[in-house]
Structure 1
Amino acid sequence: MGWTRGHVLGHGSSATVSTATTATGETFAVKSVVVSKSETLQREQQFLSILSSPYVVSYTGCDITKENKKMIYNLLMEYMPGGTVIDVIQARNYGSLNELEIANYTRQIIQGLEYIHSFGIVHCDIKGANILVNKNGVKIADFGCAKWANEDVPFRGTPMFMAPEVARGESQGFKADIWALGCVIIEMAIGNSPWSNVNSPISVLYKIGFSGESPDIPDGFSPKAKDFIKKCLIQDPEARWSATALLKHPFLEQFDHDQDQNFLTCSPTSILDQDVWGSIQQSALVGSDYNQETCTSNSLRQRVEQLAGNPEKGKFRSGAEKEIDWMTIRSSCNGAVTGGDEWW
């Protein structure tokens, strides 16, 4: 498929997202990185290429082009003109979404998670910056951190949205995505991170993993909304509700289909008309290569410092600074290509 690169939508640590158009005028988004650093982008392509859901950003294809004497790996995706949920929030004078909007967005995210999980895929980085918006609602994007549920790979994601079991280095399964969703609901309600009173990655991971605390639920929520969030933020992942169970929760069932459509057509849409997909944020991706054995408080400190990125005690595995130990993915697009830098 021939296409022409358009204006830049955003930059990551090594990749660029741009608009692109075909000869027939079709517009889509293209995420691009030099081939030598494309392993993570190829990993994302692997997951997106097998998914097809109205609640997941659509995969269009991939190719390799030569630009400015460099070989560029391109991942072609659906263009979402509304930007991210964070963009929508920031466009509001009051900096948050109301409960009706949150309920509808949450239902679509949950439907996307149920679909993704049915394939045995864990997203691993659910957050407002990875939920994209168009006139019909929201879709899950950015599978650069995704993994197979039974895959033994380093833990990854954004510390503020990590589940307790991930922060402790125990497991990262489907229920970790559910915890992150609970954090996203709070993010949509307050217009800020769910742990806004904690600043450093080390402090966040200690608090999440070992304090037994959960993010504060805003007082303005209805009882049904508060109960829904509590089901997402149960400390024990075995007791935490699944995506399928959450879809039957009264918080989501209180709105019928007609009300859904009314919300989608009548809610403020100024953000959707401004083509503002430009506030792509760098995720604080981390990897964990420590084992799962029971340990002393000293070794716990060392593990969390390693996960969070203490430059003296462990390696900070951020794509912006260090190479990440992603497994090699052999792409179906023009042969096998490997690399190391994380896109985001």
Structure 2
Amino acid sequence: MERYKAINEVGEGTFGTVWRAINKQTGETVAIKKLKREYHTWEECINTREVKSLRRMTHPNIVKLKEVIKENNTLYFVFEYMECNLYQLMKDRARLFSEAEIRNWCFQVLKGLAYIHQQGYFHRDLKPENLLVSKDAIKIADFGLARENDSQPPFTEYVSTRWYRAPEVLLKSPTYSSAVDMWAMGAIMAELFTLRPLFPGSSEADEMYKICSVIGTPTESEWADGVKLASVIINYELPQMKGVHLSALVPTASEEAINLMTLLCSWDPSKRPTALEALQHPFFRSCFHKIPPSPRFKTKNCNLPKMAAGKQEHPPPPARI
């Protein structure tokens, strides 16, 4: 760590703090994450979830882990430095982003997600704070909660900031999959259009209420597993609500954007598109030439039935928790 000079703290999370620093030898600016818990052996260090996952991943839309340092039982991760995160870009912004900007960011994030899922992992903590931006590039960061697809259940209950948590996690399903990342992606995409969270619940029960108020209460035919989870696993009665068409809440989004967000925020995880399928949605038509061909992919029918667009008053964006 003597090779680095800390400049200022840029973030703090559940597992550690992040500092902007300079490599004294090269002059390069880096981000250094200092973990809170102690590590007594090198084997402990290299077996942390974040190191195990990031060691296997090299992709332009995933933040690069440059070095792992253990010093006096403290573990440090040295990452490439990014200027800010997506939440910081949104929070003080007076003007909405253009759809072209949103398309570019979402396309890059989905490419990163497709790679992560192909490597056998899912992120589990996708949210604006974990999407880092520098100039025109956006990269996925913080793999502290990442899991391998073949991990044995039961999984951890607390996954991701509440506003981006998939319904199957809120209903305490003992198993879930990479589809939780796709739900989060739908919520983030809507937030980019409006600069306010789509499902700003103040508790887990309120989060379910907010989701039902937007997309409507699931029926047995729509998501039998979820209805069963609510009644059997947590003895929770789903609020009966009709929901609204997303175009009423995200009025500046194109029909194709609304369609993709609707698919991503499907109650049933099996009905959400994969990251690779989402990349080939008509919303990204102008980006199609940038996607490597996938012989396994079949284009989904994206013609969803129209719903009546009812009016809904938007409260001011709530404070983040």
Q: Helix, strand or coil: the match of 1:241?
A: coil
- CA distance in structure 1 between the aligned counterparts of 2:137 and 2:255, rounded to whole angstroms: 24
- CA distance in structure 2 between the aligned counterparts of 1:253 and 1:101, rounded to whole angstroms: 14
Distance 1:133 1:184, change over 3 A: same
CA shift for structure 1 position 206: 5.5
CA shift for structure 1 position 24: 1.3
Aligned ranges for residues 199-238 of structure 1 at < 5 Å? 199-205=202-208, 208=211, 211-212=217-218, 216=246, 217-238=249-270
Aligned ranges for residues 1-344 of structure 1 at < 5 Å? 2-13=3-14, 15-22=16-23, 23-36=25-38, 42-66=48-72, 71-81=73-83, 83-94=84-95, 96-151=96-151, 152=153, 153-155=155-157, 156-170=159-173, 171-196=175-200, 198-205=201-208, 208=211, 211-212=217-218, 216=246, 217-255=249-287
CA shift for structure 1 position 215: 9.1
Q: Using the aligned pairs only, state the percent identity.
A: 28
Is the contact between residue 280 and residue 288 of structure 2 (CA under 8 Å) also seen in structure 1? no
Structure 2: runs of 5+ lacking an equivalent: 219-242, 291-319
Find the counterpart in structure 1 of residue 226 from structure 2: none
CA shift for structure 1 position 37: 7.5
Is the contact between residue 7 and residue 19 of structure 2 (CA under 8 Å) also seen in structure 1? yes
**1:10-34 CA distances to partner (integer Å, 9 max, x unpaired)?**
2235622111222111111000024
CA shift for structure 1 position 62: 0.8
Q: Helix, strand or coil: the match of 2:202?
A: coil
Larger RCO, structures 1/2 (Cα 8 Å, 6+ apart): 1
Is the contact between residue 199 and residue 210 of structure 2 (CA under 8 Å) also seen in structure 1? no
Is the contact between residue 62 and residue 76 of structure 1 (CA under 8 Å) also seen in structure 2? yes
Instruction: Give, as a single letter, the amino acid of the residue that structure 2 aligns with 1:202.
Output: A
Aligned-residue CA RMSD (Å): 2.8
CA shift for structure 1 position 205: 3.8
- CA distance in structure 1 between the aligned counterparts of 2:164 and 2:129, rounded to whole angstroms: 11
CA shift for structure 1 position 231: 1.6
CA shift for structure 1 position 42: 3.0
Instruction: Give, as a single letter, the amino acid of the residue that structure 2 aligns with 1:211.
Output: T
Is the contact between residue 85 and residue 131 of structure 2 (CA under 8 Å) also seen in structure 1? yes
Distance 1:35 1:129, change over 3 A: closer
- CA distance in structure 2 between the aligned counterparts of 1:244 and 1:214, rounded to whole angstroms: 28
Distance 1:175 1:246, change over 3 A: same
Distance 1:236 1:201, change over 3 A: closer
Tell which deviates more after alignment, 11-20 or 114-123: 11-20
- CA distance in structure 2 between the aligned counterparts of 1:131 and 1:214, rounded to whole angstroms: 28
Q: Helix, strand or coil: the match of 1:234?
A: coil
- CA distance in structure 2 between the aligned counterparts of 1:248 and 1:256, rounded to whole angstroms: 7
Q: Helix, strand or coil: the match of 1:224?
A: helix
Runs of 4 or more consecutive aligned structure 1 residues displaced over 6 Å after TM superposition: 37-41
- CA distance in structure 1 between the aligned counterparts of 2:176 and 2:160, rounded to whole angstroms: 10
Tell which deviates more after alignment, 218-227 or 85-94: 85-94
- CA distance in structure 1 between the aligned counterparts of 2:15 and 2:179, rounded to whole angstroms: 30
CA shift for structure 1 position 109: 0.6
TM-score (norm 1): 0.67
Instruction: Give, as a single letter, the amino acid of the residue that structure 1 aligns with 2:143.
Output: F
Distance 1:256 1:115, change over 3 A: closer
- CA distance in structure 2 between the aligned counterparts of 1:214 and 1:115, rounded to whole angstroms: 33
Matched residue count: 254
Distance 1:74 1:160, change over 3 A: same
- CA distance in structure 2 between the aligned counterparts of 1:53 and 1:113, rounded to whole angstroms: 10
Tell which deviates more after alignment, 4-13 or 27-36: 4-13
**1:146-196 CA distances to partner (integer Å, 9 max, x unpaired)?**
111121231322221112222222232111111110000011111121113
Is the contact between residue 127 and residue 160 of structure 2 (CA under 8 Å) also seen in structure 1? no
Q: Helix, strand or coil: the match of 2:277?
A: helix
CA shift for structure 1 position 257: 7.1
TM-score (norm 2): 0.71
Q: Helix, strand or coil: the match of 1:154?
A: coil
- CA distance in structure 2 between the aligned counterparts of 1:140 and 1:129, rounded to whole angstroms: 10
**1:79-138 CA distances to partner (integer Å, 9 max, x unpaired)?**
001x111111224223x4221111110000100000000011010111111111011321
